[in-house]
């Protein structure tokens, strides 16, 4: 008995809605009805959007699709064979042994590809005769009724594969065919509608460009728009017309077919507009495309979608079609074309500026927790690169930890990348900061147990900090090859992941800059080039790219500011390590005052240090100032000492 024969027999014995009730879902009276509508259990469904038929289900909210077998797999989490056994038991249809699922085909030949496309297309048209399948296409923005949905399916020869005996890996997938410039089927991609298994499968072999006929239109119009998915490309074509030069290059890697296509386009003096999905994968995919085009000195322009009212669009192209319709997406694509105007910034002033201003109003501020320093910084740290420099033992790490603790307690996410001290050492410092009677040295020596710490009344504060502060050992990959080495690229990915999960760009702390790893090609360069590369990457990829405040701790030589006579001279101590002082939005220099200097301004030093927090550069509001703090290194406590600027002048070098 084949699987198809078994499933056909099961469906003759059992209505799908009996299976749904068997799994514990309460249904309204469905006997004698062709279909019923219920709330979908596979997404947060406030209005009923899942349609149950006698032999299959479809949700026009999350677009999941399937039958008796996939319901048991998806809803109850059963394996394929477990679900088969349940169906056999409930229906009374025997099976000789456990079905062996056919292995996924690695690569299909051309006749097989074309056969699958044609059979899937015929099956989808056949289903329209019995079921209301137009909802999927209406929900996607491609049609308004059944007639338009059928016309759309025929235009792009879309299909659905429902044969479990032949190529079961494509079961329940929407088959999207690819054509060459002569209109012949050459490949297909398959989008999973069941929600069981991977989202996409394809015909195997070398991947292709979707809608290659756009090459001729690109040569005529002088530009080509590249989007990520086939449905995004179709959305553009449906809004702008079939002759609009757009292609899709799915993010499954760039095959030789795709590279050849890109090089040919780029060699013909054509502007290549890249409009990828606004997520991590989309950005990485765009970068790969740019690298190929750059090989032949072609031109790429990364563009973005703006809504009809000028706001940044955060979803993909097809989502824009669903939301604003064909006319709305047409307007959004026309905004894209305005972005490539080679002269002037009319597009930015008339379209993008409104969105930028709106974002600036709502950008997060991360206070330092030092009231006097926050006053100078205009409330705290905002998006951008911020430098804290100083010699060893000047208090950089202690200051950074205080800032991290303050924000974590305020439920703001913090990622602390340490390239010198271990996670254990830094958490020991944090614990000793919160628990004044627990010394850092005692923790380092293991003289106190975790149970003893948990008994203390402020242990809950440590747990609160741990909810929002994550310490990552930046060079752990050098110690253990199975772990990560936290490069700029890896930090960007992690920051985007946290932002997506929490809804807020994390505060990033780099401790410290000179020990960060660089790309292989930069490892043999001098320190200035390595540092320049790091600060540029942290600024563009993480600070501006993700929207994070990035605090970078940087070492400077003792000789560099032994006698700093002016703010300019003190700022110049960073020069030996690259262009830090130019890149940073704010630059702070930490240094300790001698006993003589402290006495001149009327402060006695006993067991504590007197530290100058010297704000040398402040792009936010332009204010610069030197603040004096008494620092207890044993407890990591900082106490502000109010010293007037005139009094500071008496010790020289602090202005």
Q: In this structure, what CATH number is given to the domain that contains residue 67?
A: 3.90.580.10
Q: What is the pLDDT of residue 257?
A: 92
The predicted model gives 196-222 an average pLDDT of 91
Question: Do 18 and 147 lie in a common domain?
Answer: no
Q: CA 519, 555, 568 angle in degrees (round to 5)?
A: 110
Query: 329 falls in which pLDDT band (50, 70, 90)?
Result: very high
181-190, 238-247, 569-578: least confident range: 569-578
Q: Answer yes or no: are the C-beta atoms of 272 and 265 closer than 8 Å.
A: yes
Residue count (the chain): 655
Residue 100 lies in a domain: no
Residue 306 lies in a domain: yes
Provide the CATH number for the domain around residue 226: 3.40.1360.10
- Averaged pLDDT of the chain: 86
Question: Do 420 and 520 lie in a common domain?
Answer: yes
What's the per-residue H, E or C state across 342-375? CCCCHHHHHHHHHHHHHHHHHCCCECCCCHHHHH
Is 517 a residue whose pLDDT tops 90? no
Residue 266 lies in a domain: yes
What's the per-residue H, E or C state across 122-182? HHHHHHHCCCCCHHHHHHCCCCCCHHHHHHHHHHHCCEEECCCCCCHHHCCEEEEEEECCC
Residue 533 lies in a domain: yes
The predicted model gives 201-229 an average pLDDT of 93
Q: What is the pLDDT of residue 103?
A: 54
42-56, 188-202, 273-287, 574-588: least confident range: 574-588
Range from 115-119, 421-425, 555-559 that averages highest in pLDDT: 115-119
Helices of type H across 512-615? 527-537, 545-546, 567-571, 580-583, 595-600
Is 155 a residue whose pLDDT tops 90? yes
Beta strand 586-592 with 384-390 is: parallel
The pLDDT tens digits for 47-98 are: 888 899 999 998 877 878 889 999 999 998 888 888 999 999 999 998 766 6
Distance CA 433, CA 655 (A): 31
Q: What is the pLDDT of residue 419?
A: 92
Residue 643 lies in a domain: yes
Number of Cβ within 10 Å of residue 523's Cβ equals 9
Query: 608 falls in which pLDDT band (50, 70, 90)?
Result: confident
Q: Answer yes or no: are the C-beta atoms of 592 and 605 closer than 8 Å.
A: no
The pLDDT tens digits for 297-316 are: 898 988 889 888 777 888 89
Distance CA 99, CA 392 (A): 67
Question: Do 399 and 433 lie in a common domain?
Answer: yes
Residue 602 lies in a domain: yes
User: Among 330, 362, 394, which residue terminates a domain?
Assistant: 362
Domain span at residue 284 reads 207-362
Is 619 a residue whose pLDDT tops 50? yes
More confident of the two residues 389 and 440: 389
The predicted model gives 560-576 an average pLDDT of 62
Question: Do 411 and 335 lie in a common domain?
Answer: no
For 261, phi and psi rounded to 5 degrees? Answer: -60, -45
User: Among 47, 65, 91, which residue terminates a domain?
Assistant: 91
Of 212, 147, 218, nearest in space to 177 by CA = 212
Q: What is the pLDDT of residue 203?
A: 92
Question: Do 402 and 545 lie in a common domain?
Answer: yes
Question: Do 267 and 253 lie in a common domain?
Answer: yes
Q: What is the pLDDT of residue 565?
A: 60
- Cα–Cα distances (Å) from 569 to 72, 572, 654, 655, in that order, read 71, 5, 11, 11
The pLDDT tens digits for 241-289 are: 999 999 999 876 789 999 999 999 999 989 999 999 887 788 888 888 9
Helix then strand then coil, % of the chain, to nearest 5: 45, 20, 40
Q: What is the pLDDT of residue 179?
A: 96
- Cα–Cα distances (Å) from 638 to 293, 373, 387, 516, 631, in that order, read 53, 12, 19, 28, 5
Question: Do 272 and 343 lie in a common domain?
Answer: yes
More confident of the two residues 200 and 599: 200
Question: Do 37 and 146 lie in a common domain?
Answer: no
Does the predicted model carry a pTM greater than 0.95? Answer: no
Please tell me the number of Cα atoms within 13 Å of 545 on its side-chain side: 21
Query: 360 falls in which pLDDT band (50, 70, 90)?
Result: confident
Instruction: Supply the DSSP symbol for 593.
Output: P
Q: What is the pLDDT of residue 655?
A: 41
Q: What is the pLDDT of residue 563?
A: 47
Q: Answer yes or no: are the C-beta atoms of 211 and 187 closer than 8 Å.
A: no
Residue 313 neighbours by CB under 8 Å, 6+ apart: 278, 304, 305, 306, 307, 320, 332
Query: 500 falls in which pLDDT band (50, 70, 90)?
Result: confident
Residue 553 lies in a domain: yes
Residue 591 lies in a domain: yes
The DSSP annotation for 446-484 comes to: T-S-HHHHHTSTTHHHHHHHHHHEEEEETTHHHH-TTSP
Residue 464 neighbours by CB under 8 Å, 6+ apart: 408, 409
Provide the CATH number for the domain around residue 185: 3.90.980.10
The predicted model gives 507-521 an average pLDDT of 86
The predicted model gives 590-598 an average pLDDT of 81
* % pLDDT > 70, the chain: 91
Q: Answer yes or no: are the C-beta atoms of 336 and 312 closer than 8 Å.
A: no
- Peptide bond just before 512 cis, omega within 30 deg: yes
Helices of type H across 222-298? 230-240, 256-266, 280-295
User: Among 181, 205, 229, which residue terminates a domain?
Assistant: 205
H/E run at residue 425: helix 423-434
Question: Do 499 and 583 lie in a common domain?
Answer: yes
Q: What is the pLDDT of residue 477?
A: 46
Q: What is the pLDDT of residue 98?
A: 60
**Distance, CA of 611 to chain centre:** 39
Question: Do 53 and 127 lie in a common domain?
Answer: no
Q: Answer yes or no: are the C-beta atoms of 489 and 434 closer than 8 Å.
A: no
Crossing angle between the packed helical segments 68-76 and 80-91, to the nearest 10 degrees:
120
Q: What is the pLDDT of residue 96?
A: 62
More confident of the two residues 1 and 491: 491
Provide the CATH number for the domain around residue 424: 3.40.50.300
Question: Do 582 and 607 lie in a common domain?
Answer: yes
Q: How many domains does the chain have?
A: 4
Question: Do 188 and 172 lie in a common domain?
Answer: yes
* % pLDDT > 90, the chain: 46
Distance CA 273, CA 252 (A): 19
What's the per-residue H, E or C state across 63-121? CCEECHHHHHHHHHCCCHHHHHHHHHHHHCCCCCCCCCCCCCCCECCHHHHHHHHHHHH
Is 238 a residue whose pLDDT tops 70? yes
């Amino acid at each position: 008995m084949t699987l198809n024969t078994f499933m056909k027999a099961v469906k003759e014995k059992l209505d799908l809605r009996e299976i749904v009730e068997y799994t514990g879902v309460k249904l309204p009276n469905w006997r004698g009805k062709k279909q019923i509508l219920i709330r979908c259990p596979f997404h947060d469904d406030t209005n009923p959007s899942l349609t149950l038929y006698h032999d299959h289900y479809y949700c026009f909210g999350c677009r999941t699709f399937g039958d008796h077998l996939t319901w048991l797999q998806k809803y109850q989490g059963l394996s394929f064979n477990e679900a088969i056994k349940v169906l056999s038991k409930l229906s009374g249809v025997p099976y000789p042994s456990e079905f062996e699922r056919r292995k996924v085909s690695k690569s299909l030949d051309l006749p097989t590809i074309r056969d699958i496309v044609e059979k899937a297309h015929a099956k989808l048209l056949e289903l329209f005769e019995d079921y209301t399948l137009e909802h999927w296409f209406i929900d996607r923005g491609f049609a308004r009724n059944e007639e338009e949905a059928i016309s759309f399916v025929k235009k792009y020869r879309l299909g659905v594969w429902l044969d479990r005996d032949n190529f079961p890996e494509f079961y329940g997938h929407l088959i999207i065919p690819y054509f060459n410039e002569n209109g012949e089927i050459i490949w297909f991609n398959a989008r999973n509608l069941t929600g069981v298994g991977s989202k996409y499968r394809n015909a195997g072999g070398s991947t292709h460009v979707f809608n290659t006929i756009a090459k001729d239109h690109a040569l005529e119009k002088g530009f080509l728009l590249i989007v990520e998915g086939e449905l995004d490309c179709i959305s553009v074509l449906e809004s702008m017309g079939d002759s609009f030069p757009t292609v899709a290059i799915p993010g499954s890697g760039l095959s030789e077919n795709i590279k050849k296509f890109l090089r040919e386009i780029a060699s013909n003096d054509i502007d290549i507009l890249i409009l990828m999905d606004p997520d991590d994968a989309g950005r990485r995919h765009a970068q790969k495309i740019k690298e190929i085009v750059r090989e032949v000195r072609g031109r790429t322009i990364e563009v973005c979608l703006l809504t009809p009212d000028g706001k940044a669009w955060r979803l993909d192209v097809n989502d824009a079609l669903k939301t604003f319709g064909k006319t709305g997406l047409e307007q959004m694509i026309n905004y894209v074309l305005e972005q490539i105007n080679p002269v002037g910034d009319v597009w930015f002033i008339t379209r993008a500026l409104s969105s930028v201003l709106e974002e600036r109003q709502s950008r997060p501020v991360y206070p330092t927790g030092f009231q006097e320093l926050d006053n100078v910084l205009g409330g705290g740290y905002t998006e951008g690169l911020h430098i804290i420099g100083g010699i060893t033992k000047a208090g950089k790490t202690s200051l950074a930890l205080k800032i991290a603790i303050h924000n974590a307690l305020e439920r703001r996410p913090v990622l602390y990348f340490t390239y010198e001290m271990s996670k254990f050492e830094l958490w020991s410092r944090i614990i000793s900061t919160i628990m004044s009677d627990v010394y850092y040295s005692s923790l380092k020596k293991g003289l106190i147990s975790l149970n003893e710490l948990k008994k203390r009344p402020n242990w809950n504060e440590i747990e609160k900090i741990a909810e929002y502060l994550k310490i990552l050992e930046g060079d752990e990959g050098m110690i253990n090859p199975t772990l990560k080495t936290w490069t700029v690229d890896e930090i960007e990915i992690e920051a985007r992941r946290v932002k997506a999960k929490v809804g807020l760009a994390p505060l990033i702390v780099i401790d410290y800059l000179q020990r960060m790893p660089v790309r292989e090609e930069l490892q043999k360069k001098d320190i200035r080039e390595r540092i320049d590369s790091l600060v540029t990457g942290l600024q563009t990829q993480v600070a501006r790219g993700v929207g994070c405040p990035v605090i970078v701790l940087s070492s400077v030589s003792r000789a560099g500011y032994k006698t700093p006579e002016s703010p300019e001279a003190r700022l110049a101590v960073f020069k030996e390590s690259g262009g830090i002082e130019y890149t940073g939005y704010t630059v702070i220099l930490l240094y300790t005052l001698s006993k003589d200097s402290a006495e001149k301004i009327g402060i006695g030093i006993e067991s504590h240090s007197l530290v100058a927090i010297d704000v040398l550069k402040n792009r936010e509001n332009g204010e610069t100032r030197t603040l004096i703090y008494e620092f207890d290194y044993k407890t990591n406590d900082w106490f502000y000492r109010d010293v007037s600027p005139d009094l500071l002048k008496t010790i020289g070098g602090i202005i």
